């Protein structure tokens, strides 16, 4: 079931635009987000904000919403000839005769004759992401002399990673498509939560200690992250 089915929705403007409402404990102000993945519009509302005020905010932003929907990133069906970034480097998917998926410089050789090829390729990329995330997490946790409990690889749309108080770290496998420095930034971000379980000034100082130029990669993710979700398997 699509998670949006669980959310309350409102409509604004004419023609009407459907907006899904998310109440948030962490949000400090009302905000809007248009998903580049599926075009859904989300109204993020702090728990203490009156819904009438939040809806008024959405109504005032309806033209902005329409512009975002027009500029929505198109989905890319992964098939023969598709150019797929791995570590931020373009790789062209070509047909191979064998049964294995082979990653070479600039190409992904895949068995197109096999049934469910797309699922095979996705599983291959998830495993590649797991290897890279585990390697980089081990590297950074040793630097700060902290231990994590376990690593989980997911395909989440709303967040790139998380770290629980128990030390369980979750990552989105789609970061394997991004430049390696961006994947590293996400690891640094989540590992830093093992020191500071918040987003305080001290937390960001910890991030900066491990990655002085983290803002560059954080900005890349903000500007390009939705594109990582555009690839359909």
- Interior CA angle at 129 toward 24 and 39, to 5°? 45
Q: How far apart are CA 216 and CA 213, in angstroms?
A: 6
Report the residue count for the chain: 233
pLDDT of residue 1: 44
> What is the per-residue pLDDT for 40?
84
**Which 8-state DSSP code applies to residue 67?**
H
- For 162-220, how does the pLDDT look when each residue is reduced to its tens digit (9 = 90+)? 999 999 999 999 999 999 999 999 999 999 999 999 999 999 999 999 999 999 999 99
Sequence-ordered alpha helix ranges (H) in the chain:
51-60, 62-70, 117-144, 180-192, 201-210, 214-228
pLDDT of residue 37: 63
Which residues of the chain have a pLDDT value below 70?
1-6, 36-38, 70-71, 114
Instruction: Provide the pLDDT for residue 36.
Output: 65
- Model pLDDT, residue 4: 60
* 116-232 classified as CATH 3.30.2010.10: yes
Q: Where are the domains of the chain?
A: 3-70, 116-232
Give the pLDDT of residue 3.
59
Q: Is this structure's pTM higher than 0.85?
A: no
């Amino acid at each position: 079931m699509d998670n949006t089915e669980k959310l309350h929705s409102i409509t604004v403007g004419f023609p009407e635009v459907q907006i899904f409402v998310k109440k948030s404990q962490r949000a400090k102000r009302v905000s809007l987000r248009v998903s580049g993945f599926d075009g859904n519009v989300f109204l993020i509302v702090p728990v203490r904000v009156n819904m009438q005020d939040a809806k008024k905010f959405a109504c005032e932003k309806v033209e902005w919403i329409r512009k975002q929907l027009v500029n929505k990133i198109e989905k890319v069906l992964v098939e023969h000839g598709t150019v797929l970034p791995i570590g931020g480097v373009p790789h062209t998917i070509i047909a191979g005769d064998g049964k294995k998926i082979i990653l070479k410089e600039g190409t992904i050789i895949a068995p197109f004759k096999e049934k469910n090829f797309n699922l095979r390729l996705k599983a291959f990329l998830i495993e590649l992401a797991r290897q890279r995330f585990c390697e980089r997490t081990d590297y950074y946790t040793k630097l700060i002399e902290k231990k994590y409990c376990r690593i989980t690889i997911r395909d989440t749309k709303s967040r790139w990673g998380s770290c629980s108080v128990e030390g369980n770290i979750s990552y989105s496998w789609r970061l394997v498509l991004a430049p390696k420095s961006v994947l590293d930034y996400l690891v640094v971000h989540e590992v830093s939560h093992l020191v500071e379980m918040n987003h305080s000034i001290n937390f960001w100082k910890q991030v900066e200690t491990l990655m002085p130029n983290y803002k560059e990669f954080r900005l890349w993710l903000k500007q390009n992250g939705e594109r990582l979700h555009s690839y359909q398997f």
